[in-house]
């Protein structure tokens, strides 16, 4: 494989804090050489294009700082208040502001301008996620003729929903600057094709693997991201995981533990999950005091109002349910607003009889896979999984639920609690095989192999002036 230039909004730090995805991208960069480029998360008074280079775990990272206005309009604005809700089917929350769209375009151009001198002739460029949709086109405009791939980590919304975005057509047209576009599932890929066909008049090949618009052909691939299953199973066997397992088990004093681990985000269906649990407690008084729900929900995107609202709503709901049902020695919901180290999470998953993964909409959902990977093969827990998570297309042996229905959630909780060991093992074995087979390295290979196979027959790069503002310094 050629050298890889990975471009994403943020550059994930390596080391113990890194998730499976970051670990895999780092592994690819280590193996093939290359650079991971993105926003540092930091601010600057005036954007200069100054790049900070670092070496992390033998991988070269390059980050830039952004201006306050960039962060407000591009990150808190278009990415988190326009695209995120829209792509998760929440047009009721999506905000369509020209200033956001303008900031998004500006920052993508700044990314393109700044990364340009780092791209060498034979490199493959891999752009990640919805923050950077137009980046391929911005790079082409600056004369980049390298292979450029894009992977979308979130769902692709249905055509009519996407059409609520004022610049939807222009945005999708720009995607034809890429050589390859990857989605987690066939469903998201099909929605993309539907838009191309119906709104842009493009064509899709009979086998559904390419989309053509004018003289541009874009390859399409559905490849679900996985986790590093081996690493996760090792984490679950680590000393910290074992201590955490014991602590959590002891604290449940013989009760079955249900666990949810999600960023505090309205797409994750936390409110609906709490309501489903409340229904379960009401409908099954005999099960009260037999169960405890542990919800770990580290806050995210706190600068955005809808995220502040969900936090308040959940605090109210947890308070109400605990107020109604708690006794001297039992509290039905333990709601924790902080993040834990991954090895501790592995211990928590293993200690939990039920894994609750019930997003209203999710591109994939890695927690579902982590929960399965952390289980004890001799006594595995049960996964309750939303039909609307991309993961449901792979994990059919979970108890699949409609997360909007409190009754279905309640029924699923009961079914999971009484499920015999043999059935738990059967379901878990099937899911575990797939989690191991289609792991994060599998995903990486699928995508990069497809990208490598994209032929580039464009004219040689136009000569472009190096950015005058982009003084590249190392620090
Ligand atoms: C996007 C898409 C897609 C959570 N709490 C803690 C913690 N986490 C980790 C989990 C998991 C990750 O965060 C969350 O991944 P998800 O896949 O569930 O969701 P998003 O963050 O929304 O990710 C999603 C993904 O991209 C990859 O393509 O699957 O659909 O929305 O790894 O374990 N990690 C630690 N402490 C916590 O408290 N250390």
What pLDDT does residue 457 have?
Answer: 58
Q: Give 108-150 pLDDT, tens digit per residue.
A: 999 999 999 999 999 999 999 999 999 999 999 999 999 999 9
Residue 456 pLDDT greater than 80, yes or no: no
192: confidence class by pLDDT, cuts 50, 70, 90: very high
At 287, list the tokens: 């099960």
Band of the pLDDT at 19, cuts 50, 70, 90?
A: low
pLDDT at 474: 33
- Give the model's pLDDT for residue 458: 53
Task: Assess whether the C-beta atom of 15 lies below 6 angstroms from ligand 1.
Answer: no
pLDDT higher than threshold 90 for residue 460: no
Q: Measured in angstroms, how far is the CA atom of residue 426 from the centroid of ligand 1?
A: 26
364 C-alpha vs ligand 1 centroid, how far in Å?
10
- Residue 367 zone, left/alpha/beta (φ > 0; ψ -120 to 50; rest): alpha
Which residues are paired to 63 by β-bridges? 38, 52
Band of the pLDDT at 463, cuts 50, 70, 90?
very low
Q: How confident is the model at residue 14 (pLDDT cuts 50, 70, 90)?
A: low
Average pLDDT estimate for 437-464: 78
Of the pLDDT bands very low, low, confident and very high (cuts 50, 70, 90), residue 181 is very high
Say yes or no to pLDDT of 155 above 90: yes
Q: In sequence order, what are the beta bridge partners of 210?
A: 219
Query: What per-residue confidence (pLDDT) applies to 219?
Result: 98
Residue 58's pLDDT band (boundaries 50, 70, 90)?
confident
The structure tokens listed for 129 are 């996620």
pLDDT of residue 475: 33
Q: Is the CB of 28 under 6 A from ligand 1?
A: no
Does the pLDDT of residue 368 top 80, yes or no?
Answer: yes
Q: How confident is the model at residue 28 (pLDDT cuts 50, 70, 90)?
A: confident
Which of the residue ranges 51-60, 269-278, 446-455 has the most confident prediction, judged by mean pLDDT?
269-278
Q: 365 CA distance to ligand 1 centroid (A)?
A: 7
Instruction: Report the first-to-last Cα separation within the chain, whole angstroms.
Output: 29
Q: Which pLDDT value is given to residue 455?
A: 79
Q: What is the mean pLDDT of the chain?
A: 92
384: pLDDT strictly greater than 50:
yes
The catalytic residues are: 153, 362
253 φψ region: left (φ > 0), alpha (ψ -120 to 50), beta (else):
left
In which residue are the tokens 């393109």 written? 112
From residue 268, how far is each of 89, 261, 264, 272 by CA, in Å?
A: 12, 10, 8, 9
Decide whether any atom of ligand 1 lies within 6 Å of the 340 Cβ: yes
Quick: pLDDT tens for 198-231: 999 999 999 999 999 999 999 999 999 999 898 8
Residue nearest to atom 34 of ligand 1 (CA): 342
| pLDDT of 26 over the 90 cut | no
Least confident range of 41-50, 131-140, 246-255, 388-397: 246-255
Provide mean pLDDT across the span 161-188: 98
Fold of the domain built from segment(s) 229-437: Rossmann fold (3.40.50)
The helix/strand/coil state of 374 is: coil
Output the residue whose Cα is nearest ligand 1's atom 6. 339
**pLDDT tens sequence across 399-417:** 999 999 999 999 999 999 9
Q: Does any ligand 1 atom lie closer than 6 A to the CB of residue 108?
A: no
Pocket test for ligand 1, best of 263, 383, 391 (most atoms within 8 A of CB): 263
Ligand 1 center to residue 285 CA distance, Å?
A: 33
Pocket test of ligand 1: the residue of 229, 232, 366, 443 to mutate, having most ligand atoms within 8 Å of its CB, is 366
Q: Atom 28, ligand 1: which residue's CA is nearest?
A: 153
Domain with CATH 3.40.50.2000 in the chain: 4-226+441-452, 229-437
Q: What is the distance in A from the centroid of ligand 1 to the CA of 21? A: 9
Evaluate: CB of 18 within 6 angstroms of ligand 1.
Answer: no
The reply to whether ligand 1 has any atom less than 6 angstroms from the CB of 377 is no
Task: Report how far residue 360's alpha carbon sits from residue 351's, in angstroms, rounded to the nearest whole number.
Answer: 25
Is residue 154 lining ligand 1, measured as CB closer than 6 Å? yes
Please tell me if the CB atom of residue 298 comes closer than 6 angstroms to any atom of ligand 1: yes
- Cβ(366)–Cβ(262) below 8 Å: no
pLDDT of 50 over the 70 cut: yes
- CB 348 less than 6 A from any atom of ligand 1: no
- Mean pLDDT score, 76-84: 97
Span 51-55, average pLDDT = 94
> How many Cα atoms within 13 Å fall on the side-chain side of residue 18?
18
Rg of the chain, C-alpha, whole Å? 23
Best residue among 9, 88, 261 to mutate for probing ligand 1, ranked by most atoms within 8 Å of CB: 261
User: Among 363, 359, 361, 356, which residue's Cα sits nearest to residue 335?
Assistant: 356
Q: Is the beta carbon of 79 within 6 A of some atom in ligand 1? A: no
pLDDT digits (tens, 9 = 90+) for 288-333: 889 999 999 998 888 888 888 999 999 999 999 999 999 998 999 9
Q: Which CATH architecture has domain 4-226+441-452?
A: 3-Layer(aba) Sandwich (3.40)
Alpha carbon 179 to chain centroid distance?
22
pLDDT above 50: residue 462: no
């Amino acid at each position: 494989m050629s050298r890889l230039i990975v471009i994403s909004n943020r550059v994930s730090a390596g080391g113990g804090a890194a998730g499976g995805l970051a670990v895999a991208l780092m592994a690819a960069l280590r193996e093939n050489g290359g650079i991971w480029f993105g926003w540092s998360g930091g601010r600057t008074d005036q954007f200069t294009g100054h790049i900070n280079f670092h070496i992390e775990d033998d991988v070269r990272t390059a980050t830039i700082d952004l201006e306050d206005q960039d962060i407000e309009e591009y990150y808190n604005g278009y990415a988190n208040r326009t695209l995120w809700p829209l792509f998760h089917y929440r047009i009721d929350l999506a905000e369509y502001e020209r200033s956001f769209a303008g900031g998004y375009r500006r920052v993508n151009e700044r990314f393109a301008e700044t990364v340009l001198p780092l791209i060498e002739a034979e490199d493959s460029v891999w752009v990640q996620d919805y923050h950077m949709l137009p980046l391929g086109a911005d790079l082409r405009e600056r004369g980049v003729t390298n292979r450029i791939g894009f992977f979308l980590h979130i769902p692709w919304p249905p055509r009519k929903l996407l059409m609520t975005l004022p610049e939807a057509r222009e945005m999708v047209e720009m995607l034809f600057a890429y050589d390859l576009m990857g989605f987690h599932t066939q469903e998201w890929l099909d929605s993309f094709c539907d838009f191309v066909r119906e709104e842009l008049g493009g064509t899709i090949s009979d086998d559904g693997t390419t989309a053509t618009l004018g003289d541009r052909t874009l390859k399409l691939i559905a490849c679900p991201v996985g986790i590093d299953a081996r690493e996760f199973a090792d984490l679950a066997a680590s000393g910290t995981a074992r201590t955490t397992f014991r602590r959590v088990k002891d604290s449940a004093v013989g009760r079955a533990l249900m666990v949810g681990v999600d960023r505090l985000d309205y797409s994750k269906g936390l409110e609906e999950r709490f309501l489903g649990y409340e229904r379960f407690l009401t409908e099954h008084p005999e099960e009260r005091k037999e169960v405890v729900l542990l919800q770990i929900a580290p806050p995210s995107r706190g600068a955005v109002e809808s995220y502040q609202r969900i936090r308040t709503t959940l605090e109210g709901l947890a308070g109400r349910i605990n107020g109604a049902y708690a006794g001297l020695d039992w509290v039905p919901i333990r709601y924790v607003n902080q993040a834990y180290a991954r090895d501790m999470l592995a211990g928590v998953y293993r200690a939990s009889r039920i894994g609750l993964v019930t997003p209203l909409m999710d591109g994939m959902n890695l927690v579902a896979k982590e929960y399965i990977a952390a289980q004890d093969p001799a006594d595995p827990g049960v996964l309750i999984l939303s039909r609307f998570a991309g993961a449901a297309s792979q994990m059919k042996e979970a108890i699949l639920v409609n997360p909007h229905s409190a009754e279905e959630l309640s029924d699923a909780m009961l079914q999971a609690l009484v499920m015999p060991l043999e059935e738990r093992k059967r379901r878990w074995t099937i899911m575990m095989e797939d989690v191991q087979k289609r792991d994060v390295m599998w995903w990486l290979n699928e995508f990069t192999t497809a990208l490598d196979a994209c032929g580039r027959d464009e004219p040689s790069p136009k000569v472009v002036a190096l950015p005058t503002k982009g003084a590249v310094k190392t620090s």
